[in-house]
């Protein structure tokens, strides 16, 4: 009886492990599109090279986007989420993975993401408004800043991180719809319900690694002017996403092995040519 129970346990464990490995093996970097670009926007690759970003450019993990004054860009992700990066901002795409597509996807028609995904963005400075479709239970979507992070579960949100010249930094997370959690600022998570914002004021140490004063954290209603701004930005995102379609990446065609050169048959050596024997002198008498 014990052996039978052990066998069933091992069988279940094996199947669970196999399924886990299968899902992990299918996950790959997802497609990201710069769907709308206004003003001066740069793409910085992992090797540090930069180039002007134009609408229609495909982005990848490890790319970083920077915007100049009066500039912005709308990024659309293959899982249906989207971001509008505001002026004078810097956003790194640390990670974006999901299962490969089986068919074309129109993000504007999605109510929830099509597969499990993992998204990690890093806002060094600036501001962004995002629209995230309902995530799968096993999915994650987070936005990091130098002083804290925001965990998103499916919502319209705004994140602002602005250092000031007097040694302070302001980190604000606003939830227009859905639910957001602020992390890393205090010992515990700070839930931010719809219509609310959390504003964090932090003293930035003069010396890297120096001790900073405890942050000042305030939870309050989103100001009416800010709510109107978020609604306008969300409308821009919606209009941009309507014209976006993602197509499955075609499988790579394996490179055929190089052809083996045909062997040249060995040449048969020619028989040596023997010159004819010249006639000898005529020995006939009287000749």
In tens, the pLDDT along 180-214 reads 999 888 778 999 999 999 999 988 766 566 566 78
Residues near 99 by beta carbon (within 8 Å), at least 6 away in sequence: 23, 26, 27, 28, 114, 115, 116
Domains, in order of start, for the chain: 28-103+113-241 (2.60.120.1440)
Q: How many CB atoms lie within 10 A of CB 253?
A: 6
Q: Please give the C-alpha separations between residue 73 and each of 114, 127, 149, in angstroms, as whole numbers.
A: 24, 12, 21
Q: Which residue has the higher pLDDT, 25 or 138?
A: 138
Query: pLDDT band at residue 264, thresholds of 50, 70 and 90?
Result: low
Which range among 112-126, 200-214, 227-241 shows the weakest confidence by mean pLDDT? 200-214
- The answer to whether 28 touches 97, Cβ cutoff 8 Å, is yes
Average pLDDT over residues 38-44: 98
In tens, the pLDDT along 161-183 reads 999 888 889 999 999 999 899 98
């Amino acid at each position: 009886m014990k052996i039978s129970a052990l066998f069933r346990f091992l069988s279940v464990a094996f199947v669970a492990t196999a399924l886990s490995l299968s899902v992990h093996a299918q996950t790959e970097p997802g497609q990201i599109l710069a769907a709308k670009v206004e003003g001066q926007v740069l793409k910085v690759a992992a090797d540090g090279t930069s180039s002007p970003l134009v609408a229609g450019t495909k982005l990848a993990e490890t790319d970083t986007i920077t915007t100049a004054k009066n500039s912005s860009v709308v990024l659309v992700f293959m899982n249906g989420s989207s971001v509008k990066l505001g002026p004078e901002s810097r956003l790194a795409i640390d990670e974006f993975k999901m299962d490969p597509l089986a068919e074309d996807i129109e993000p504007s028609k999605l109510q929830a993401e099509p597969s499990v995904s993992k998204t990690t963005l890093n806002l060094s400075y600036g501001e962004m408004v995002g629209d995230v479709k309902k995530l799968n239970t096993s999915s994650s979507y987070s936005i990091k800043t130098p002083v804290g992070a925001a965990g998103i579960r499916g919502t319209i949100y705004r994140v602002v991180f602005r250092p000031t010249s007097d040694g302070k930094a302001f980190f604000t997370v606003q939830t227009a719809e859905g639910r957001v959690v602020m992390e890393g600022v205090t010992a515990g998570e700070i839930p931010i319900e719809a219509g609310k914002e959390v504003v964090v004021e932090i003293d930035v140490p003069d010396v890297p690694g120096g001790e900073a004063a405890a942050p000042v954290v305030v939870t309050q209603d989103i100001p009416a002017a800010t709510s109107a701004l978020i609604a306008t930005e969300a409308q821009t995102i919606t209009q941009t996403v309507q014209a976006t379609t993602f197509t499955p990446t075609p499988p790579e065609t394996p490179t055929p092995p190089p052809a083996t050169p045909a062997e040249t048959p060995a040449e048969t050596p020619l028989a040596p040519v023997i010159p004819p024997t010249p006639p000898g002198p005529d020995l006939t008498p009287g000749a």
